Amino acid sequence: MGPNGETVGIVPTDQALKLAQEADLDLVEIAPMGKPPVCKLMDYGKFKYENAQKAREARRNQTNVIIKEMKLRPKIDAHDYETKKGHVVRFLKAGDKVKITIMFRGREQHRPELGYRLLQKLAEDVQELGFVESNPKQDGRNMVMVLGPHKKKAEAKLEVKAAKQEAAAERAAEQAAEHAERTAVQPSTTKKAKRANEALDPDIDL
């Protein structure tokens, strides 16, 4: 095969090597089990580089979904609930799934509706960022629900990166403005010295 995929035909090995040398290309065997084996004229170094670039890009765009876990008690107080909800919000914004576990102890095991209502409340509070992927289910002494993010992992990463860049740009602009303000109000020592000399008595012998 030629460098553009065109068929050259069956040629002896020495002739194929000569063609490759004349075209300043490599003769690469791409189907060694063929009868006869199939070779192609190509720039092998460029071929390896492009394949490496494609593999790197594929890894960068790969979505590795991570499942985070958050544990709550059915009678959790308001402050602790807000703290736990904040963690769930952060996980969902990052594109991760969140497994919510309600832990029942003692007599709480006879009041599963407490856990169910708490899970429903949490799902409603974070509905803009995630959805209920797995409805609440009783699992022994625990009740479990899984929340999935609306945004994919790759999209979440891009948003976080953009937010960091924007924050960095704002900080740089503030620092530049502060520097400009300090420079503008700084008095001129040369002018002060000149005014001081002008105030001296001209008859005084210095």
> What's the pLDDT tens digit per position in 39-67?
888 888 888 888 888 888 777 666 566 78
Q: Taking the domains of the chain in order of start, what are their residue ranges?
A: 13-61, 67-151
Q: Which of these CATH numbers, 3.10.20.80, 3.20.20.140, 3.40.50.720, 3.40.640.10, describes 13-61?
A: 3.10.20.80
User: 39 to each of 86, 111, 148, 164, how far by Cα in Å?
Assistant: 59, 72, 49, 49
State yes or no: pLDDT of 98 exceeds 50: yes
Q: Between the ranges 32-46, 80-94, 192-206, where is the mean pLDDT highest?
A: 80-94
Q: Report pLDDT for 158.
A: 67
Q: What is the mean pLDDT of residues 94-100?
A: 91
Q: Report pLDDT for 108.
A: 86
Contact 143, 116 (CB under 8 A): yes
State yes or no: pLDDT of 99 exceeds 80: yes
The b/e string for 21-56 (b: 16+ C-beta within 10 A; e otherwise) is eeeebbbeeeeeeeeeeebbbbeeeeeeeeeeeeee
Q: Is 77 exposed, middle or buried (0-12, 13-18, 19+ CB in 10 A)?
A: exposed
Q: Report pLDDT for 171.
A: 83
Fold of 67-151: Translation Initiation Factor IF3 (3.30.110)
User: 139 to each of 73, 136, 143, 145, how far by Cα in Å?
Assistant: 15, 9, 6, 10
pLDDT top residue among 175 and 87? 87
Q: Report pLDDT for 122.
A: 94
Name residue 38's beta-bridge partners: 31
Q: Give the pLDDT band of residue 106 (cuts 50, 70, 90).
A: confident
Q: What is the mean pLDDT of residues 15-32?
A: 81
pLDDT top residue among 171 and 9? 171
Q: Report pLDDT for 3.
A: 66
Q: Give the pLDDT band of residue 160 (cuts 50, 70, 90).
A: low
Q: What is the pTM of this model?
A: 0.48
CA distance 100 to 88: 9
Q: Give the pLDDT band of residue 206 (cuts 50, 70, 90).
A: very low
Per-residue pLDDT tens digits for 115-151: 999 999 999 999 999 999 999 998 888 999 999 998 8
For every residue of 22-40, DSSP letters joined together read HTT-EEEEEETTSSSPEEE
Only one residue has tokens 């985070």, namely: 68
For every residue of 125-156, DSSP letters joined together read HTTTTEEEEEEEEEETTEEEEEEEESS-HHHH
Q: What is the mean pLDDT of residues 14-31?
A: 81
CA distance 167 to 150: 24
pLDDT top residue among 77 and 40? 77
